[in-house]
Each structure stands twice: as C-alpha cells, then as structure tokens.
Amino acid sequence: MTQHPQETVIGRITSVFGVKGWLKVYSYTDPIEGILNYRHWTLVLDGKRIAAELDSGRRQGQGIVVKLKDIDDRDLARTYGGAEIRVPVSELPDLPEGEYYWHQLEKLDVVTVEGERLGKVHHLMETGSNDVLVVRADEASIDQRERLIPYLPDDVVREVDLAAGRLVVDWDPEF
C-alpha cells in the first residue's frame, strides 16, 4: 500500500452546478474562498482516492463553485458528489503563535485544570459565536459522557500542548 503524506480535509463536493461539469463545494477554510488557493486536490469517495486539479473556481452566492480539469459534463461531475477534498498538511500556511488548525486539535487528550481526564477531542464544530470541541470519552476518562466544550482560548481552553498531545480546559466535568 502506498504511504500518503499527512492530509487534512478542506471541504467536500456537494452537487453539480450547471451542465458544463462545474461542482458546488462546501469549503471548511476561513475565508471560504481559501479553498481556491489549493490547485491539487485528492478527492476521497467511498474509500477511493482520486487525484484532481482545480481548473477554476469562484464565489457563487453563499458558496463556492469549481471546475476541475477534464470534467466537462454534468453526468461525469455528478459522480464526484459527496467526495472529501484533501490536501497535504505541508501546503497549509503557518499560523501565528497560539492559533491551531482543527486537525491539530483532533485526537488530543482533554484534561481539566484539576487533572481529571474527560476524553479525546473527536472533532470540532462551528456554531457561529465560537467553535466547539466535541470530546468523547475513552477508557481512561472519568466517565463515559460526550461533552461539548466551547473553544475559548484563555477562558475555557487554558493550554494546548501539541507535543504532549494534551489540551487543558477550565471546565466542570458535571457539564
């Protein structure tokens, strides 16, 4: 099996747009147009990896539409619906000190400032006012509850230690 560089998901293809092979894309980048900065994508659909090259793209209403190289009709474009869009992590721009990509926070152990283990970050979600950590219990957790913890640096999130794989939160385990 071929070893792939570490990748992260930056969006997904949702549906077709028009009749000439354009696709609607849901972008996970901020701003959403940031997805257009990456020209070489790996699409993952039903476990299959497909190399794709971005030919062009633009903002369309509240979303993004793209044209991939060699996809010129609606029927072929339709076969890509639901595909995850991945790029190598090495292509992401460096962030300022104290800022993190979501993929860096996923799978970190979550402990309270008192040292109680709540579980691991399973994923994050955007709520509008702030991002939320979805923390799922594991065998070492104080209980088997799933918790939704606001990602509020310096308030709720007190420390992120990527090297140690740990995130410290000021959070009451009863919530």
Which string of DSSP letters, residue by residue, matches the chain?
Answer: ------EEEEEEEEEEETTTTEEEEEE-SSSGGGGGG--EEEEEETTEEEEEEEEEEEEETTEEEEEETT--SHHHHHTTTT-EEEEEGGGSPPPPTT---HHHHTT-EEEETT--EEEEEEEEEE-SSSEEEEEE--TTSSSS--EEEE--BTTTEEEEETTTTEEEE---TT-
Q: What is the pLDDT of residue 112?
A: 98
pLDDT per residue, tens digit, the chain (175 aa), is 344 559 999 999 999 999 999 999 999 998 999 999 999 999 999 999 999 999 999 999 999 999 999 999 999 999 999 999 999 999 999 999 999 999 999 999 999 999 999 999 999 998 888 999 999 999 999 999 999 999 999 999 999 999 999 999 999 999 8
Q: What is the pLDDT of residue 21?
A: 96
Residue from 4, 2, 174 nearest 88 by CA? 4
Q: How many Cβ atoms sit within 10 Å of the Cβ of residue 85?
A: 27
Q: What is the pLDDT of residue 143?
A: 96
Q: What is the pLDDT of residue 99?
A: 92
